[in-house]
Chains A and B, each alone.
Chain A
Amino acid sequence: MQRIGVFVCWCGSNIAATVDVKAVAEAAKGQPGVVFATDYQYMCSESGQTILKDAIKEYGLTGVVICSCSPRMHEATFRKAAESAGLNPYMVEIANIREQCSWIHKDMEVATEKAIILAKAAIAKVQLNKPLVAGESEVVKRALVIGGGIAGIQTALDIAEAGYKVDIVEKQPTIGGKMAQLDKTFPTLDCAACILTPKMVDVAAHENVTIYSYSEVVDVKGFVGNFTVQIKKKPRYINENLCTGCGACTEKCPMKKQPNEFNMGFDKRGAIYIPFAQAVPKLPVIDADACLMLKNGKCGLCSKICEAHAIDYTQKEEIIEERYGAIVVATGFNQIKPTQFEEYAYNTCPDVVTSLEYERLMNAAGPTKGHLQRPSDGQRPKTIVFIQCVGSRGDSCREKSYCSKICCMYTAKHAMLTKDHYPDTDIHVFYIDIRTPGKNFDEFYRRAVEQYGVDYIKGMVGKVYEENGKVMVQGSDLIDNKQITIAADMVVLASAVEPDPSARSLGTMLTASMDTNDFFTEAHAKLRPVESPTAGVFLSGMCQGPKDIPETVSQAGAAAVKVIGLLAKDKLKNNPCVAACNQSVCNGCSQCANVCPYGAITYVEKEIRTPEVREVRRVAEVNEAVCQGCGACTVTCPSSAMDLKGFTNRQIMAEVDAICR
Chain B
Amino acid sequence: MQRVIDKVKELLANGVADRVLAWKVGEFPYDRIPGVFKDDLDGLCYDSFSACNLSKYLINETKKDGRVLVLMKPCDSYGVNLLIKEHRIDREKIYILAVPCNCKVDIEKIKDSGIKGIIDIAEEGDVLKINTVYGQKELDRRQVLCDKCLSCQGKKHVIYDEIIEDDEQQNIEKTDRMEAVEELEAMSPEERFAFWRSELSKCIRCNACRNVCPACSCNKCIFDNTDTGVAAKSNADSFEENMFHIIRAFHVAGRCTDCGECSRVCPQNIPLHLLNRKFIKEINELYGEFQAGEDAVTTGPLTFFTMEDAEPDVVYKKGRD
Q: Are B303 and A591 in contact (CB under 8 A)?
A: yes
Closest to B86 in A: A589
Q: Are B63 and A615 in contact (CB under 8 A)?
A: yes
Minimum C-beta distance from A551 to chain B (A): 31
A639 contact from B87, B222, B305, Cβ within 8 A? B222
Q: Are A505 and B307 in contact (CB under 8 A)?
A: yes
Q: Are A508 and B218 in contact (CB under 8 A)?
A: no
Query: Cα distance A151–B296 when bound, in Å?
Result: 48
- Residue with the highest number of chain A CB atoms closer than 10 Å, among B220, B225, B251: B220
State whether the Cβ of A41 lies closer than 8 Å to any Cβ in chain B: no
State whether the Cβ of A47 lies closer than 8 Å to any Cβ in chain B: no
A587 contact from B218, B252, B303, B307, Cβ within 8 A? B218
Q: Are A594 and B304 in contact (CB under 8 A)?
A: yes
Q: Are B225 and A639 in contact (CB under 8 A)?
A: yes
Chain A contact-residue range equals 20 to 34
Q: Mark B248-286, 1 if CB is under 8 A from A, else 0.
A: 000110000000000000000000000000000000000
Query: Cα distance A574–B218 when bound, in Å?
Result: 32
Known contacts A639-B225, A649-B228; A585 and B307 CB within 8 A of each other: no
State whether the Cβ of B88 lies closer than 8 Å to any Cβ in chain A: yes
Known contacts A587-B88, A590-B86; A595 and B218 CB within 8 A of each other: no
State whether the Cβ of A588 lies closer than 8 Å to any Cβ in chain B: yes
Q: Mark B222-265, 1 if CB is under 8 A from A, else 0.
A: 10010111100000000000000000000110000000000000
Closest to B59 in A: A587
- Residue with the highest number of chain A CB atoms closer than 10 Å, among B63, B219, B221: B219
Minimum C-beta distance from B214 to chain A (A): 12
Query: Cα distance A639–B248 when bound, in Å?
Result: 11
Q: Are B220 and A585 in contact (CB under 8 A)?
A: yes
A650 contact from B221, B229, B252, Cβ within 8 A? B229
Closest to A617 in B: B219
State whether the Cβ of A640 lies closer than 8 Å to any Cβ in chain B: yes
Query: Cα distance A587–B219 when bound, in Å?
Result: 6
Minimum C-beta distance from B251 to chain A (A): 4
Query: Cα distance A472–B201 when bound, in Å?
Result: 73
State whether the Cβ of A636 lies closer than 8 Å to any Cβ in chain B: yes
Known contacts A585-B225, A640-B228, A653-B229; A590 and B87 CB within 8 A of each other: yes
Point out the residues of chain B lying under 8 angstroms from A508, CB to CB. Answer: 307
Q: Mark A614-634, 1 if CB is under 8 A from B, else 0.
A: 010110000000000000000
Q: Mark B56-81, 1 if CB is under 8 A from A, else 0.
A: 00000001000000000000000000
Closest to A596 in B: B303
Closest to B221 in A: A639
Q: Are A639 and B229 in contact (CB under 8 A)?
A: no
Point out the residues of chain B lying under 8 angstroms from A462, CB to CB. Answer: none
Point out the residues of chain A lying under 8 angstroms from B85, CB to CB. Answer: 590
Known contacts A594-B304, A636-B303; A587 and B229 CB within 8 A of each other: no
A589 contact from B87, B228, B305, Cβ within 8 A? B87
Minimum C-beta distance from B272 to chain A (A): 17
Chain B contact-residue range equals 20 to 34
A591 contact from B63, B86, B220, B222, Cβ within 8 A? B86
Of residues 124 through 138 on chain B, the ones whose CB sits less than 8 Å from some CB of chain A are none
State whether the Cβ of B207 lies closer than 8 Å to any Cβ in chain A: no
Point out the residues of chain B lying under 8 angstroms from A30, CB to CB. Answer: none
Query: Cα distance A618–B305 when bound, in Å?
Result: 24
- Residue with the highest number of chain B CB atoms closer than 10 Å, among A589, A617, A649: A589
Q: Are A594 and B228 in contact (CB under 8 A)?
A: no
Query: Cα distance A586–B217 when bound, in Å?
Result: 11
State whether the Cβ of B143 lies closer than 8 Å to any Cβ in chain A: no
Minimum C-beta distance from B252 to chain A (A): 8
State whether the Cβ of A12 lies closer than 8 Å to any Cβ in chain B: no
Q: Are B219 and A586 in contact (CB under 8 A)?
A: yes
Closest to B63 in A: A615
Of residues 600 through 617 on chain A, the ones whose CB sits less than 8 Å from some CB of chain B are 603, 613, 615, 617
- Residue with the highest number of chain A CB atoms closer than 10 Å, among B85, B252, B303: B303
State whether the Cβ of B170 lies closer than 8 Å to any Cβ in chain A: no
Point out the residues of chain B lying under 8 angstroms from A265, CB to CB. Answer: none
Closest to B252 in A: A638
State whether the Cβ of B175 lies closer than 8 Å to any Cβ in chain A: no
Query: Cα distance A585–B305 when bound, in Å?
Result: 26
Closest to B304 in A: A594
State whether the Cβ of B198 lies closer than 8 Å to any Cβ in chain A: no
- Residue with the highest number of chain B CB atoms closer than 10 Å, among A582, A640, A649: A640
Closest to A591 in B: B303
Top 9 closest pairs, chain A to chain B, by CB: A589-B86, A639-B218, A594-B303, A585-B220, A638-B251, A640-B222, A588-B87, A640-B228, A591-B303
Chain A to chain B contacts (Cβ below 8 Å), 15 pairs: A582-B227, A584-B220, A585-B225, A587-B87, A587-B88, A588-B88, A589-B86, A589-B88, A590-B86, A603-B87, A618-B87, A639-B219, A639-B225, A640-B228, A649-B229
Q: Name 18 extra pairs, CB < 8 A, besides A587-B88, A588-B86.
A: A582-B227, A586-B219, A587-B87, A587-B218, A587-B219, A588-B87, A591-B86, A591-B303, A595-B305, A603-B87, A613-B219, A618-B87, A638-B218, A640-B222, A640-B225, A640-B230, A649-B229, A650-B227
